[in-house]
Amino acid sequence: MKIQLIYFTNITNYAASMLGNLAQMCGWDVAFKYFPDDALEDDIANALLRARPDLVAISIKTFERRLGVQVANIAKSLGMRVVAGGPHATDATDDLVALNLFDAVVVGDGMGVLPDILENFLALEGQAITGKRHQNIALYSQRLFDEEQERQIRESRMYTVIGSLGCSFKCTYCATTRQVGYLPVEHIVESIEKAKEKYNIEWVAFLDDTYTYSIKKLRQFHDLVRERGLKFEYQEVKTRVDCLTDEIAEELTRNGVEEVSFGIETTSPRLLAYLKKGCTLEDNYRAAEICRRNGLSMRINLMFGVPTQDADDYEITQRYVEETQPASITSFYFTPFPGTELFQHCLDNGYLPKDWSFDNFLSLDMNQREFKGWRHTRGILRNIDYDMAEQYLSKIQRFEERRIDEIVMRAAESADEEPWVVVGARKYFFIVLERLSQRKWKNLLGCYNLVEDDFQPRKFEHNIPYVHSENGLKNAKNVVVTLHKGHFYEKVILPRLRETMKFKGKVISASTWPSGYQAG
């Protein structure tokens, strides 16, 4: 029997690889398929026909629903059995069940019910199945990949890891699972060890909602990493402002964490209370100060166009940004997700228009022709002052851009004396390209993206040509890298520039960090 696990957004989807590993243990052949936002009907049909699975298992988040339903439709038309799982299946179960497309819709954790589903897949009748945790917690750290995923891991040298499941806080806008659990540190360490051996990874990204929730767990993990002599770099870790103390910050920096990302959303006391964030304006300032004191780079996410958000709320947040100067700011228009308290509040209080539909979910569908990137796409809620939201979003964005401009232009001007290339990855790389496109450069040859297929929170307009092959640096005398010269640069980027790409010239950093902190 063969199962094909289908997912969107990210090529090494955690849930798919973990469920795939379990399916293989149940004796099934396993195939994976990642479809990007703009996948065509023919591509989907051909992929399904090539794999010929007995069961198609689709992981669907709400903003991927259009694609998930499209794949299910095509699979059904080819006579295949189809099950759905993931955040949308969990929080909008009735929506998927009502489509009569899925042979089962799994609510919550699929691990504990997958073996039964595989055993009885021919008897499924379109029902919702309540998920549950698998008894063997070790399986949550074990994953299976196909060749394409392995290539991606080897090339990016990055591996995603989960240390804890879910979150016990009650923020009203958040759709994360509230079923909390910790994975034993031995299993996490073993999974990183294996990935290092097999893929030569250098960089670990923790997907945990709140990486610093328990200092005891953190210490256990770091101690074991040291004991085993395991060496790797951390991608930024996510946490809450009230889950960071000097003691935790020291623990992080001592073990090589350089960047912390906070879902701040707003710093207005009134709006924090409305969102039931469970933290205060003071907590937000304290976290920024702790980051500054301990040399941690601070990344923040902000929300605009939240019901009731007014000029005072925006002003307070804007002041916070100006005073603390985070290294990076990601801004989103608020979208209510099913299963959250705020979604229900939006329904009950007329914020959601009468004709709202999951078919075109609230402006998050990147495949809409009119879609210009999330930063430019307002939400569809009623009674929201989107003009005001946009005005503040742009103000905060311009504030960030001005800071970035100063640093980037200085780096670019010194590089432009001779032929040069911009090298980097992820959101900041694209921000830099966007900023560089504002000027004409004498000697700019192009740009090189170190991590392709990476999710971007918005579209970035730039006119800088890509140098595609690693030979692209052969005529360059200077390289501007868009990351700071920290551990990751020393261990991964510099060797890649010098050894793989044979670049002998000068490397200039256009990072906002740590310089942003010196200014702050």
The residues that touch ligand B12, with contacts defined as CB under 6 A, are 9-10, 14-15, 18-19, 57, 59, 61-63, 83, 85-88, 90-91, 106, 109-111, 114, 160, 162, 174-176, 207, 209, 332, 337, 455
- For the stretch 421-454, what's the b/e string if a residue is b when 16 or more beta carbons lie within 10 angstroms of its beta carbon? bbbbbbbbbbbbbbbbeeeeeeebbbbbbbeeeb
Q: Binding to ligand SF4 by residue 263, rule CB under 6 A?
A: yes
- 87: partner contacted, choices ligand SF4, ligand B12, none (Cβ within 5-8 A by kind): ligand B12
Residues from 197 through 256 that contact ligand SF4 (CB under 6 A): 209-210, 240
How far apart (Å, rounded) are the C-alpha atoms in residues 17 and 84?
15
Nearer to ligand B12, 174 or 290 (CB): 174
Amino acid letter, 253: T
Q: Is 116 exposed, middle or buried (0-12, 13-18, 19+ CB in 10 A)?
A: exposed
Q: How far is the CB of 229 from ligand B12 (least distance, A)?
A: 27
Does residue 306 belong to the site contacting ligand SF4 (CB under 6 A)?
no
Q: What span, in angstroms and rounded, lies between the C-alpha atoms of 72 and 67?
A: 9
Residue type, 115: P
Give whichever of 18 and 411 is closer to ligand B12, judged by the CB atom. Answer: 18
Q: How many other CB atoms are found less than 10 A from the CB of residue 381?
A: 22
User: What residues between 117 and 176 interact with ligand SF4 by CB under 6 A?
Assistant: 167, 169, 171, 174, 176
Kind plus residue range of the DSSP H or E element containing 84:
strand 81-85
SS3 302: strand
Partner that binds at residue 513, options ligand B12, ligand SF4, none, CB closer than 5 to 8 Å by kind: none
Nearest-approach distance from CB 331 to ligand B12, in angstroms: 10
In the complex, minimum distance from the CB of residue 197 to ligand B12, in angstroms, rounded to a whole number: 21
Size of the site for ligand SF4 (CB under 6 A): 9
Residue that is written with structure tokens 């399916």 in the block: 23
User: Using an 8 Å Cβ cutoff, are 149 and 137 in contact?
Assistant: no
CB closer to ligand B12, 81 vs 435? 81
- Name which of 97 and 364 has its Cβ closer to ligand SF4: 364
Instruction: Write down the H helix ranges in 416-452.
Output: 426-436
Q: CB-wise, 174 or 467, nearer to ligand SF4?
A: 174
- List the one residue out of 328, 330, 246, 313 whose CA is nearest residue 286: 246
Q: What angle do CA 369, 429, 234 make, to 5 degrees?
A: 115
Using CB distances below 5 to 8 A depending on partner kind, what does residue 240 bind out of ligand B12, ligand SF4, none?
ligand SF4
Residue 15: contacted member of ligand SF4, ligand B12, none (CB under 5 to 8 Å, by partner type): ligand B12
Residue with nearest beta carbon to ligand B12: 85
In the complex with ligand B12, the residue whose CB is nearer, 158 or 476, is: 158
Answer yes or no: are the C-beta atoms of 241 and 287 closer than 8 Å: yes
Nearer to ligand SF4, 256 or 269 (CB): 269
Distance CA 317, CA 281 (A): 9
What single string gives the DSSP state of each residue in 460-501?
Answer: ----PPB--SGGGGTT-SEEEESS-SSHHIIIIIHHIIIIIS
Q: Which is nearer to ligand B12, 85 or 307 (CB)?
A: 85
202 or 265: CB nearest ligand SF4: 265
Q: How far is the CB of 9 from ligand B12 (least distance, A)?
A: 4
> Which among ligand SF4, ligand B12, none contacts residue 330 (Cβ within 5 to 8 A by kind)?
none
User: Could you count the other beta carbons within 10 Å of the beta carbon of residue 278?
Assistant: 13
Q: How far is the CB of 208 from ligand SF4 (least distance, A)?
A: 9
504 burial class (0-12, 13-18, 19+ CB within 10 angstroms)? exposed
Are 330 and 457 in contact, with CB atoms under 8 Å apart? yes
Q: How far is the CB of 240 from ligand SF4 (least distance, A)?
A: 5
Q: How far is the CB of 13 from ligand B12 (least distance, A)?
A: 6
Shortest CB 105 distance to ligand B12, Å: 9
Residue number, 15 or 346, with CB nearest to ligand B12: 15
CB of 458 to ligand SF4, least distance (A): 20
**Is residue 20 within 8 Å of residue 30, measured between CB atoms?**
yes
Q: Which residues bind ligand SF4 (CB under 6 A)?
A: 167, 169, 171, 174, 176, 209-210, 240, 263
